[in-house]
Structure formats: C-alpha cells, structure tokens
Structure 1
Amino acid sequence: MTATQDTPVRTEPALTLSGVLASALPHDLGTARGPSRYTVPAVFSRRPQPREVDLLHGAGTSRRLADAGYSDVELHVSDRRLLITNTNLADLKAGLAHLIGTILAEVSLQASQERSQREEELDALGQLEEQRLEALRQAAAEIHFD
C-alpha cells in the first residue's frame, strides 16, 4: 500500500495572498511627507507551513526578485502575513504582485511535493519494518522446545 495509491494524502490548499492589509500601511501614505518605499503587508490565505516559510526566506526567492528588477525587495513571513519590504503599491500593481503570486505557487507546490515524498518514504519504511517483524515472528514460531 503506497500513500499515492491506497492511503488518502492530506493536501493543503495552495498558499496564496488574499490582499493587502491597507490598515497597516504607513499613515502618511499619499501625502507630501509620505515615504516612496515602505513595507506592504499582505494576508496569507492560510498559515504557511514551516517548509514554505523556509523556501520564501531562501536565496532562490531573493534571486528571483533580483532577476526581475526588485533587488531591494525582501519577503518576510510574520504569522499569517507576508511583509513585502522596500516597495510600494505602484510596484506591486505594475507586476511585483504577479511575481510574488508565482513565487508563492511554486513554493507551495514544492513543499507539497516534498511532503508527499516524505510520506511515501515513511510508508515504505513502515512496510519494511512490518516485514522484518513478521520474519522475526515466523522465525520465533519455528522454534520448538520439545
């Protein structure tokens, strides 16, 4: 019995962002004194898994952002929020939001595939252990003290 054939595998919905948390934007945004770059908080659709957080904070994400022209932008997970630093709403609207959505989809998929692979490996190890125990039971059953 493998995890992919007989055992239902619990799958998390893809990690997405539901939107920008406007109430957490700088209070002076849109004024003459407002910053041109700031941190934009976005709300996750669900709590990110630890592996998803690791991937988002990894060098691959930084490289993807830099390759797309956003070398100053950083992504930080804070509970159920993604903090997008050194950016602004205009950059997000002009393409950064789409790039971040793509990165999230890839991170979510990679983490899900890794979980499935680990589950399959654990299932296979469990089967090997069961076979080992059965062989021991059979060997012990063949011992007679008469």
Structure 2
Amino acid sequence: MTTIQDSAVRADSALSVSGVLASALPHDLGTAQGPTRYTVPAVFSRRPQPREVDLLHGAGTRQRLADAGYSDVELRVSDRRLLISNTNLVDLKAGLAHLVGLILRDISNQAAQERTDHSNELDALGLVEEERRGSLRRAAAEIHFD
C-alpha cells in the first residue's frame, strides 16, 4: 500500500530516466526504409512535477542542447515519458543520454530549491503574521473600561 509519506518521498527524489521504451520505437527502425532521426521515448523514474515540466520545456534546456551540438533535439514530457525528438539511439549512446541525465538532475535540483525557498518564505510570513496578531492581542488587553 502506498502512503502519503511514500508519495512525498518519491516526489522529492531526483527526476531521472530509467530507460528507453524500445517497444515504442519506429517499427521500421534498422531497415532500409527506417528513419535516421526519430523520437525516442524514455520512461521517467517518477511523474514529473509541473515546475519540472516547465523547466524542461523552457529556453534553458533548448540552449543547453544547442550548446552541446544538439540544436535540432527537443525534449517533451508526455505523462511519465520523456520524448526525445529529432535524434536516434546512436546519438543517445554517444553522449546525448548523459546530457539529458544532467539536464534532468539540474532541473530536479532547481525545482527542489524553489520549493524550499517558497516554504521558507511562507514560514517567515507566518511568523510575521503571528507577531502581528500577538501585538494586537497585547494592545487590546491593555485597554480597560473602568
């Protein structure tokens, strides 16, 4: 049975790819009629969080791919799959898979840091609000109608 705590631990674990979904590769791959470039579907280790999807689809990811010589490659999320477009298994094996892994790690870290920062901001705002209410209670307690 999955508990809420188990779900939270999985959500906080680093986003990664567990492997290529070979059964979803083009059916004519490896034949004379097969494509040289195609979409390679890979399976995520867990469902990406919305912020991770935004970062993955963002300009920073496209720039990192372009800087590494993969300007035609596009990364897209589809449920628990990462769709790596305009590539092939050879490119992935030659270094693209490693780069994608680094991108996912960095995105995961950035999203986690943003969550922590947001939580800290909310905690600080909560303390300010608590102090304000305490101050109002003390001020109200000092008023006497004798």
- Give the alignment's TM-score, normalised by structure 1: 0.92
- CA-based RMSD of the aligned residues comes to 1.3
- Give the alignment's TM-score, normalised by structure 2: 0.92
1:31-110 aligned within 5 A = 31-110=31-110
Match of 1:114 in 2: 114
Letter in 2 for 1:76: R
Letter in 2 for 1:72: D
Residues 91-125 of structure 1: per-residue CA shift (max 9 Å, x gap):
00000000000000010001101110000000000
Structure 1 unmatched ranges of 5 or more: 1-8
Match of 1:135 in 2: 135
- 1:145 is paired with a residue of what secondary structure? coil
Structure with greater proportional helix content: 2
Match of 2:14 in 1: 14
Displacement of 1:79 in angstroms is 0.8
Structure 2 unmatched ranges of 5 or more: 1-7
Segments of 4+ moved more than 4 angstroms: none
Total equivalences in the alignment: 138
Identical-pair percentage = 76
Letter in 1 for 2:24: A
Match of 1:4 in 2: none
Cα distance between partner residues in 2 of 1:142 and 1:71: 69
